[in-house]
Structures are given as structure tokens and as C-alpha cells.
Amino acid sequence: MKEVSLYTDGACRGNPGPGGWGAILVYGAHERELSGGERETTNNRMELMAAISGLGALKERCSVTLYSDSKYIVDAYLEGWVDGWRAKGWRRGREPLKNPDLWERLVALTDYHEVKFVWVKGHNGHSYNERCDALATAYADSFAEIKNS
């Protein structure tokens, strides 16, 4: 099974507001950058989209180490929250979980691939995290410019 590193980040100008996501896949000497965004979204949705898009771009089942500065995503897996949310029909206690559509997509991808989640401190000089942030903020800024014109 191929071993791949996936670096992800999301950004939002306002929350909600214009947002973007960035992901970088690394396999050996090969790197692939992915990015996108939405005109009106939240930071957490963009963080989720970065992970979904990166994992979804893989053409075969892989062993993936996913690096993210999102405690929301990393802790959901490391602390087992995602299993509880899924078992309870995408609810947190009595309240519906936010972004269940994206969590369902991410869980399907993490069920398919072998994924290890690693938290990295954001804006701390980590080169891949900084590049993902630049990709994400470029999209967020482009939508913000359209919104403000």
C-alpha cells in the first residue's frame, strides 16, 4: 500500500464569510497541490473540505498521514468523537452536529484509506502548513474581493 502525506488547511474571511481550502499530497518526490473555496462558508467547513478533497484525489487505497492545524478534525478522530456522532445519527447530545454532510464524506474516505491524523501548530513556520494556508487564503481573498466589489 502506498504511503502518502496529506497536508491541509482551511481559511475564512469572517465566519461565516468567503472561504478557501488548500491541500498538498506528497508521495515520494511527487507533490500535488489542490485548492478551492466557497463564497459563503465557515472555517470548519473549509478545514473539512481540504481533508475530503485531498483524500478524494487519491486514485487507490493508501496509507495516509494527514497533517492539519484543525483541532476540530484531528481531535474528532483521536478522541473518538466521530464514532459517537455517527452512532447517534450525526448528533452532539441533543443537538444536530454541524456539517454532517461533510463529516459523512470524510468518514467514508477514512473508512476506505488507512488514515493517521497528526495535529500541527498553525502559522508556526511548518512549510507545508504555510503553503496550504496560502492556497486557502488566496481563494478566500478572491471571493472576498468579489463580495466587496
Taking Cα atoms as reference points, which of 4, 40, 38 lies closest to residue 21? 38
Q: Any idea which residues carry the catalytic annotation?
A: 9-10, 47, 69, 123, 133
Q: What is the CA radius of gyration of the chain?
A: 15
Quick check: bond before 96 cis, omega within 30?
A: no
| Cα–Cα separations (whole angstroms), residue 91 to 47, 76, 88, 109 | 20, 13, 6, 20
Please tell me the distance from the alpha carbon of residue 140 to that of residue 142, in angstroms, as a whole number: 6
